[in-house]
């Protein structure tokens, strides 16, 4: 079946540090890949997406590249801010369907001054 594995958190960084949150997936074919973010007390928000190999999704300074050869979709940001503190979820949708997102367990990011 399809699955998503994320690095365990919490990840604690100082403001302006470089961020990487690792995500790898297992799926047949070419799934669509997503990063969602959940700020404290809020619902899930779509952060970025990529639909085919070598696509790079980007938004709000975050980037992730769809790597078919390593089945990875790592999230990166060059300089984090305190306001980026949240839980980040990597997810996939099975290719050729319109149905369920399969999520990883989430990685909590804490950014301090």
Partner 1 sequence: DTGVSQDPRHKITKRGQNVTFRCDPISEHNRLYWYRQTLGQGPEFLTYFQNEAQLEKSRLLSDRFSAERPKGSFSTLEIQRTEQGDSAMYLCASSSSVNYGPYEQYFGPGTRLTVT
Binding site for partner 1 (CB under 8 A): 4, 32, 34, 36, 42-46, 49, 51, 89, 91, 93, 98-106
Residues in the chain: 113
Q: Closest CB to partner 1 among 105 and 112?
A: 105
Q: Closest CB to partner 1 among 11 and 17?
A: 11
Q: Closest CB to partner 1 among 19 and 93?
A: 93
3 state DSSP class of 82? helix
Strand partners for 37: 45, 88
Smallest gap from Cβ 73 to partner 1, in A, equals 14
Smallest gap from Cβ 5 to partner 1, in A, equals 11
DSSP state for residue 58 in the 8-state scheme: E
Smallest gap from Cβ 41 to partner 1, in A, equals 9
Q: Closest CB to partner 1 among 98 and 113?
A: 98
Smallest gap from Cβ 14 to partner 1, in A, equals 25
Residue 107 phi/psi, 5-degree rounding, is -130, 120
The answer to whether the CB of 80 falls within 8 A of the CB of 111 is: yes
Query: If you search the block for the tokens 């990685």, which residue do you land on?
Result: 107
Q: Rounded to an integer, what distance in angstroms lies between the CA atom of residue 35 and that of residue 91?
A: 6
């Amino acid at each position: 079946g399809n699955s998503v594995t994320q690095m365990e958190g919490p990840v604690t960084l100082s403001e302006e540090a470089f961020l990487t949150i690792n995500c790898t997936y297992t799926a047949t074919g070419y799934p669509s890949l997503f990063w969602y973010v959940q700020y404290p007390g809020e619902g899930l928000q779509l952060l970025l997406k990529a639909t085919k190999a070598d696509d790079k999704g980007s938004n709000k300074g975050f980037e992730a590249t769809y790597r078919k050869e390593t089945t990875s979709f790592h999230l990166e940001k060059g300089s984090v801010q305190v306001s980026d503190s949240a839980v980040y979820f990597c997810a996939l949708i099975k290719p050729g369907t319109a149905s369920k997102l399969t999520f990883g367990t989430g990685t909590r990011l804490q950014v301090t001054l």
